[in-house]
Amino acid sequence: MKKFLVALLGVLLILSGCQSQAGNSAEKPNEKMDVKPPDRDLVKDGLPAFNEEVASLPKTDLEIWLAADYANEKPIQDAIEEFKTVYPNISVKTVGIEWGEMTNKVKLAVSSGAVPDMAHNHAFAFGAQGLAEPLDDLWNGWGEEDQFLPGGIEDVTWKGVKYGVPLDINTLIYLYNKKAFDEAGIKAAPKTLDELTEVSKKLTNKDKGQFGFVTNASGWSFFGNVIAEGTNILKFDGDNATANLNDPIVVETMKKYTDLALVHKSSPVPPPQERQTDHPVAMFGTGRAASFISGPWDIARIKDEFPDAYKNLATAVIPASEKGSVLGGGSLFVPKGSKNQVASFELMKWFVSDKYSIRLAKEMGRHPVKEHQYNDEFFNDPLLKPYIETLKYAQPYKLEAYPEANDAWGKALRSVFDGADVEKTLDNAQEVAEKAIKNAK
């Protein structure tokens, strides 16, 4: 009996080993699939042409990290699903990550060697920090750089090298409640920062709990006001950057902007939270504020979440002495160490294709990076006219390439809202920025 049990155990172990080997063979990472071109013209459908190189790849599992407010949106997921029907050899796992957390998570992933195959933020900043793979060879093979708006290309380029593909582009404009303006006898949107102050004071009604304007403590957003006043916090001579945080124009602009809340009481003091975008929308949408500065994504958000406020929504360029604003949007890049650059780059091309870029604009308020896509009738919306006009003069927020300087700038604005002296605070931030730029060389 004992011999029988020993023999039986041996058979079971052999069978178990066979099953284990069979399971492993079914999951070989280099297993090839016979992927054939689809029976339709992808280009006519507004998609990239069939890519034989991607089709010839072995089974590949992509993990992509997208901003949390993108990851599960229908245009994004539909693009992924259609991509997988054309390239069944490529699987895609999507992970949503808060925008502000992306930098630290990518840094940790790169240092640990467990990197995703695609991430979403500003590719130039990750390239500058050595956290992204250069993709010039794939861009050269694609040959469609001339279709992109220059600002989109800037978002992926650092010192002449492209580190990703721009996903969308945006800039900031002035959004206001035209009914509130009419009731206050204000005939037009303010055209300067001083006019914004006077209009906001006039629109503020303490008895009704209504503010004329909503400031926010985002260094990126406030940079739009700086550009609109004719200067920049980072200046370039070729590839050489110089910090300019305490420029007199910057000092004056920050004082006037923060005084809207601190002195004139025509804006609430921004709450001390990292994500600054929700508060102004909620204030405006519920009628507690008559105006704020934001981008076209909030036009779509107000339409969906606050339809009554949307009926009275109007837009204008940022009130300032010059033309311009911050150039925003986001881009996709391959974190340093990923071996799946070819498949990742192809999926990036699908996200910015005509079919899906227009859907990002219509359904998410995220606007295209390719110039010809603005010929779509969707962009005839009068609310978008100031946005499209401002886009011509917007400038990218390159300070993100230097994390310590970027942090100092954001903290400076927050400190001023908390009562610190503007000039002293910006002098201190300037010192930090100068050191950060020097150490990066």
Q: What digits encode the pLDDT tens for the residues 143-152? A: 999 999 988 9
Q: Supply φ then ψ for residue 157, to 5 degrees.
A: -115, 135
Helix, strand, coil percent content, the chain, rounded in steps of 5: 50, 15, 30
Cα-based distances in Å from 164 to 238, 326, 339, 347? 21, 20, 15, 12
pLDDT at 226: 97
Cα-based distances in Å from 131 to 107, 427, 434? 7, 30, 22
Lowest mean pLDDT among 17-26, 285-294, 427-436: 17-26
Distance CA 259, CA 249 (A): 15
Structure tokens at 331: 């881009």
pLDDT at 10: 45
User: Among residues of the chain, what percentage have pLDDT more than 90?
Assistant: 83
Cα-based distances in Å from 283 to 214, 306, 336? 8, 11, 41
pLDDT at 265: 97
Mean pLDDT of the chain: 91
Report, at the CATH architecture level, how domain 173-324+402-440 is classified: 3-Layer(aba) Sandwich (3.40)
SS3 361: helix
What's the average model confidence in pLDDT over 67-76? 96
Phi-psi region of 371 (alpha: psi -120 to 50; beta: other; left: phi over 0): alpha
Q: Supply φ then ψ for residue 395, to 5 degrees.
A: -125, 145
pLDDT at 29: 55
| Statement: 52-170+329-382 belongs to CATH 3.40.190.10 | yes
- Neighbouring-strand partners of residue 102: none
SS3 333: strand
What's the average model confidence in pLDDT over 248-270? 97
User: pLDDT for 366-385, tens place per residue?
Assistant: 999 999 999 999 999 999 99
User: pLDDT for 120-138, tens place per residue?
Assistant: 999 999 999 999 999 999 9
pTM, whole model, 2 decimals? 0.80
By C-alpha distance, which of 189, 191, 228, 437 is closest to 327?
Answer: 228
- Contact yes or no for 149/370 (Cβ under 8 A): yes
pLDDT at 13: 37
For the cut 50, the answer to whether the pLDDT of residue 4 exceeds it is no
Q: Please, where in the chain does CATH 3.40.190.10 lie? A: 52-170+329-382, 173-324+402-440
pLDDT at 7: 45
pLDDT at 392: 86
For the cut 50, the answer to whether the pLDDT of residue 353 exceeds it is yes
Report which of residues 5 and 386 the model is more confident about: 386
Helices H / strands E in the chain, number of each = 20, 13
For the cut 50, the answer to whether the pLDDT of residue 95 exceeds it is yes
- Contact yes or no for 280/292 (Cβ under 8 A): yes
Burial 122-144 (b: 16+ CB within 10 A, else e): bbbbbbbbebbbbbeebbeebee
Return the half-sphere exposure (C-beta side, CA atoms, 13 A cut-off) of residue 179: 9
- Neighbouring-strand partners of residue 395: 326
For the cut 90, the answer to whether the pLDDT of residue 24 exceeds it is no
Beta strands 313-316; 291-294: pairing state: unpaired
Distance CA 154, CA 17 (A): 55
Cα-based distances in Å from 206 to 186, 264, 305? 18, 12, 25
pLDDT at 33: 83
User: Among residues of the chain, what percentage have pLDDT more than 70?
Assistant: 93
SS3 187: coil
User: pLDDT for 214-240, tens place per residue?
Assistant: 999 999 999 999 999 999 999 988 888
Return the half-sphere exposure (C-beta side, CA atoms, 13 A cut-off) of residue 22: 6
CA-based R_g, the chain, Å: 26
Distance CA 33, CA 91 (A): 13
DSSP code string of 220-263? HHHHHHHHHTT--SEEEETTEEEE-TT-HHHHHHHHHHHHHHHT
What's the average model confidence in pLDDT over 40-62? 96
Structure tokens at 145: 């750089």
For the cut 50, the answer to whether the pLDDT of residue 5 exceeds it is no
Report which of residues 189 and 18 the model is more confident about: 189
Distance CA 348, CA 64 (A): 10
pLDDT at 255: 98
